Amino acid sequence: MVAQTSQELMKLLLNRIISCNVLKQAKDVMKIDLSKSGTMLDHTEVDVGFIAAKSLKELVHSKQYNVSK
Listed by start position, the domains of the chain span 2-61
Given this model, what pLDDT does residue 52 score? 86
How far is residue 9's CA from residue 16's CA, in Å, rounded to a whole number? 12
**How far from the centroid of its chain's Cα atoms is residue 40's Cα?**
8
36: three-class secondary structure by DSSP: coil
User: Low-confidence residues of the chain, pLDDT below 50?
Assistant: none
Residue 44: Cβ-neighbour burial (10 angstroms; 0-12, 13-18, 19+): exposed
How far is residue 44's CA from residue 16's CA, in Å, rounded to a whole number? 11
Given this model, what pLDDT does residue 33 score? 92
**Residue 32: CB atoms within 10 Å:** 19
Given this model, what pLDDT does residue 18 score? 92
Given this model, what pLDDT does residue 66 score? 61
